[in-house]
Structure 1
């Protein structure tokens, strides 16, 4: 069954599921009752001898049943991404060995994996007429005895995304960060139609746009004789400034543009290539080199890890408004075995960080760093965790540098994190309990569940929360891809026995509904500020790092329920005064065109994003303390959007704008 292009618009709705579009060889795996396995390509070619290590893997799990699976054969690069170029290299080596009669030549350095995405037959039963959902369910039930060689492709339904408050844009951001070619949308009620290209499967390839320097060209052949057949591309290494080879482009030109380029390129001839290092000989056959002074633009789908080449390129046109010196190569440029240091600060490491003109220290896939008095092992530092390419190393860099102002807001508060192991757009999960493998030096506190009972009606076990009170704790959490840190409005006495203290902070979470923004939140914040000040409370503000903002007051109270009750009264009061602008009700239907004042985050069961925490959004935005002057002046949402880099600059200039919060504690008003 074949997929049709979706024309650049990914299908949405509860009837759709999404799978990774894989960069490999399409393959049908046929397993006979006796375990004999045959692998065939889309065109019917027999792959069995070439990928002999995949044959027979499923036979033990099928226990004498026949099966037919549809999927893709892939080879992974060092970043854990399928890379077609490596699969092609493996095929070339196989064909060479086969021609020399060395069929058993091992390929241990390029292991393959069969990723199944459909089940067409199980036992005597044909599943071709079954709906996608049923086939998927049956496929997931097939045991995978060796997941290193055979596994099932991940899938996401629209409903699952929506339930997680994620959108298809979030999914595409995750797919981009993970380095996949794109996604395939599959209709959940559609049967499997062999050999047919239908609208039940719609492919959505991902493309990116980049500026490039034209460094050479190949003469056209056939009907393009006398014009340009393709261009050879380059860009500057952002670290060294050297000109690097990026690959070529041979599509996207009009006939007229080929002719125009030919005239300009002939006038720029030079005898040799302009790159710092020799490009691959196979890539530059028939090449004619030019002075690197012309800038163009291409679209592409992927940057290879090995060599930083652009894949699936298409020409968009010349950019006469750009200078070659402005054109920088995309990630990745260096080989993966030397990722950039996350730059844990000198105060943490006890060593001098690199100077501004020094290159980053090279390090391997795993490194050991000194964070205060602790040594930690970090891994996958160049793995992008955000759609913008912001990596785990950069997340650790941010948390390391923001620690002096962030740690006081975490001190004594049980931590809940949201982890993004596959980056923003991938799977995410709240984590309250300290995970397995946490360092033994990490302080924890065991607190009773606020709900009191488990889903079976019995009292649940206490939750063992982490307490982060030093730099090493922050670095440890960041290394687990814990992008978001949430805290309650109370602190704990670790005991023994551990005890929740009464709340010392009260929070108003201002959440803009549809057709509103943080600008509307600012106007509501101004009104709340007046009321709270009249009640003798000092109000501090921060952005949520997403769409809204929070207001904080430091309070004295002996009643854990009192802050929620007081905050609810104020929220309801403002909602009565201006029902067209404010709501105190969580219902989505009540929030259109209004700002929801969420008073419930003062409940002991609730947490709020911590000041200076990153958020799991498309960009590495931060929950940022702001001044009342900034609130009064806000007229556009962009005025109160701050990324990690912005916040480090703000703190360097202004310090912690929440410094005075705990020094302004006042009794919580009653009545």
Structure 2
């Protein structure tokens, strides 16, 4: 395999390198000043290798020479040697990139490639090379340069004929913000214009040949998947005598075994069916090629073939239990792919995360509001089972800030920090750490800890977006607050919130917590309160109500009395005592969180669990409908989608305060 080198003389084209690949973003479009955005293209990935005299070689992502197939793209650039990464595309009459037309053009090329008209130009289906990265300019390799630097050099390359070669537009998060846009609104525009999606690219990232490090994240609007063609079924009725459907496979990401992924029977033209039938008939084998036999009922009448051809399908669903693509539609063959590259979707989460082989630059300067911050180690994985990085933590807190900040305002925040992710050591931090920015607001209050009585603590106040981003950059995954705010005189105020922490013991789950929450809600409403509920983000639930009290100890006394009442009335389900021996099969109604010295996790805060789950406000209809633990389990992405749909379900706490009944 030819690797990039600077040798070979002045007329030599640069050597080929395997291109860097994009990861799926898991449905979470990244947002923040560290990201730039490009349109997701739907064509053939190619490297344009240009010598100083204009000699050009086009090479696919897996090393196939495309030069003869796309002669109009040869010799368009000259003057300086360059290695350019991009995509070869075809446009339809509506001005949209059309992969179907590219497939049709490729079929014609294959048909004529061995004949006297091999150099046919296909003027009726013109192609265009859309460049999005520059890997070498002259004798200077650029792989270690940042994305921003490489794009700036690419933009300055002379491109005499933009109908043949041009640069893919890119826009940064800050440029979007200046136009009063967000990545989400940009995505809406792309949807309306019929594009495939967006690629979010980390602006500080280097270029890692042949790797998929997570610096580029693709957010498709249409779900597509590359598949290995492993067999076919003859057609019936109107498709008699031709191909009826294909049987599909992919390689298990962990073992490399070829596994069955289902079938596809729609999306073919009549010519597709006939050409595939003829081609596959010459590739037949007696047995299936999978490591394990597919279900017999799925493959009745199948004719098996050597697993050499790669295709692409649209699909609506992947069922993880069965490992099947559902509601598939054929898009065409991918001659630019090798079957060994085709991976099956994971039926379960990986035990060991994929980590980038080389880090991005460790510090990135950004502007958040009117503050400048230095963000560090953005690619560090915070949640190994999910691959969720610090950049994604910062992105989540930046996007959830409008609904989170009102619940932090005026309350001293305790951080639980995970410097090396949730698999490493964690520690609590109440004091403002050394090196905090001078503009960070804080409150000096007497210590309530057993070791620090008589001393004072400078508590951070997280009441705006720059402060929240600063905290997230410290790997403060969890944010905890008390049930009181700091008064105008800078001292601790009276409790303004009542809280019940419902903690499931062994043998119980959040489902039992939901049943207890329903009963507790009825008792609180009967006392004139307006309770709201949220998940803890871990195993249990919490109920809150806005209250007015004259004495700080009143909330604890009220909560204890109610918890003990529930324990007396339903002793088989509820306990009000923390004794471990009493916990199995029961839900602890923990009233002690009302002690002014204690804190609870803030709504919308992430939790330091295996996956990036968050403490999520829920409606009472959701509580009543909870029948499985999964019903009330929400990850960061789920929470962002919920808030966009329902707003802040904890907002009623701001205007429903009621006097707490006296005993």
Normalization by structure 1: what TM-score? 0.48
Normalization by structure 2: what TM-score? 0.49
